A = this chain, B = another copy of it.
Amino acid sequence: MKQATIIGSGLVGSLWAIYLNKAGYKVSLFERRADMRKNTISAGKSINLAISYRGWKALDAVGVGDIIRKSAIPMYGRIAHQIDGSTSFHPYGINNQAIYSVSRGEINSRLMDIAESSGMTELFFDSQCTGLDMNKNIAYFEHNVNGIKFETKSDVIFATDGAFSTVRYQSMQRLDRFSYSQNYIEDGYKEILLPANSDGSFKLEKNALHIWPRGRFMLIALPNIDGSFTCTLFMPFDGHKFCFNNLKSKDDIITFFKEMFPDFYQLMPEIAETWTDHPISSLAIIRCFPWHNKQTVLMGDAAHATVPFYGQGMNAGFEDCTVMAQLMEQFEDDWNGCFAAYEKMRKPNGDAVQDLSLQNYLIMRDKINDPDFNLQQKVEKRIHELYPDQYLPLYSMVSFSDIEYHTALEQGKKQDEEMKKFILNHDISWSTDDRTLDDIIHNALGKEILA
């Protein structure tokens, strides 16, 4: 029977085990942490995720989407909270399209359960990978608890061990001509838990992603099924008036929240007491190439870790599984050929999802307050509503389609320029009434936009 090794039982590793089982592979899945299902530990730092089209597609292909859907909360758009307490709703798509808030721990646990229940995946916890022999397909491990060293040999090795992949660091990064970069952005983040009301109800509108956009920094909140919200404050570490280094005392924190997020502060006056519940974490874009060497390959964050601002990190990793599964059928047992095709196809998409993520930070924290930006969004949305098959806004391409990320990025740039001209040439403004806007769109379509 064909044997596969997967290193890292995070979201991508656990899902990929299910794929490999279905393809007839026996899988040994190694994880350096303890079994998260038996412990109240968080799997990595970020505990909130949003599943969108690509994620569901990858889950549904192996029949596990519906299990995950049970604990997923649809978010139909963003609600922006201004300093004066006013809010505005910005739908993500049309016809009730949504992205879905899920708990990382919950989805990861279910994927491990499903992999294990097939009888074809064996999970090994507390197993730290210490190195690889990529010529012989051998992975070396040390057990974190008992210190025993062991190794495993298989037909193929998948590294799904995340942004700071040990496999990449211990083996690929030492190869000649391996290009690699880790670039930290100026900003860090801190998670904050906004509890449910005492009756278990939500303190904010449940079916939305909440943003408090403040230009150089922002607070966001995503709903959890227990009525709480997982909130995240993104801001520079230092060098700015508002930065983490200037939030040292409880007074600093209270003053900051009262001034910048007064409505949030009212919901959570205990903010200063809970401040140290979570650390301040850093954010990096990690790029590398190639993604494979012989029968060893990087998938998910190990290949293309991104910043979280488009909510596409997990979705891109899950899409790696979709693509790899297709190529696996095509190349049969020629893993080297399969991996060469995979990295050729996916690398431009990994780069693009990173570029898109960085762009979207600016949109979330700043542009969402810009009337020109919102006018353009409104016009784009209306064109999309009237001509849904002919015009897809960038956000829809990324979140509600499986158009390749790099195509979406390029097409998005082109559309952005076209749309700016369109608005200018037709004198569209916030005072343009809906009927006039529709007339302009109907007249123009098929001529200027999609000539």
CB distance from A176 to the nearest CB of B (A): 5
Measured between alpha carbons, how far is A391 from B145 in the docked complex, in Å? Answer: 68
Closest chain B residue, CB of each to CB of A283: B177
* The one of B181, B184, B237, B284 that contacts A183, using a Cβ cutoff of 8 Å: B181
Query: Does chain B have a CB within 8 A of A150?
Result: no
| Contact status B176-A179, CB under 8 Å | no
Measured between alpha carbons, how far is A183 from B182 in the docked complex, in Å? Answer: 11
The 4 closest A-B pairs by CB, nearest first: A181-B181, A177-B184, A177-B282, A179-B183
Query: Does chain B have a CB within 8 A of A89?
Result: no
Query: Does chain B have a CB within 8 A of A178?
Result: yes
Closest chain B residue, CB of each to CB of A181: B181
* The one of B176, B183, B284, B287 that contacts A282, using a Cβ cutoff of 8 Å: B176
> In the complex, what residues of B have CB within 8 A of residue A180's CB?
180-182
| Residues 166-199 (chain A) with a chain B CB within 8 angstroms | 176-184
Measured between alpha carbons, how far is A183 from B181 in the docked complex, in Å? Answer: 8
Closest chain B residue, CB of each to CB of A186: B177
CB distance from A271 to the nearest CB of B (A): 25
> In the complex, what residues of B have CB within 8 A of residue A284's CB?
177, 179
Closest chain B residue, CB of each to CB of A188: B177
| Contact status A182-B184, CB under 8 Å | no
| Contact status B179-A182, CB under 8 Å | yes
| Residues 77-122 (chain A) with a chain B CB within 8 angstroms | none
> In the complex, what residues of B have CB within 8 A of residue A183's CB?
179, 181
| Residues 138-174 (chain A) with a chain B CB within 8 angstroms | none
CB distance from A41 to the nearest CB of B (A): 20
Measured between alpha carbons, how far is A21 from B50 in the docked complex, in Å? Answer: 59
Measured between alpha carbons, how far is A282 from B182 in the docked complex, in Å? Answer: 21
Measured between alpha carbons, how far is A237 from B290 in the docked complex, in Å? Answer: 15
CB distance from A184 to the nearest CB of B (A): 5
> In the complex, what residues of B have CB within 8 A of residue A237's CB?
177
Measured between alpha carbons, how far is A182 from B184 in the docked complex, in Å? Answer: 15
14 contacts between A and B (CB under 8 A): A176-B282, A177-B237, A177-B282, A178-B182, A178-B184, A179-B181, A179-B182, A179-B183, A179-B184, A179-B284, A180-B180, A181-B181, A181-B182, A181-B183
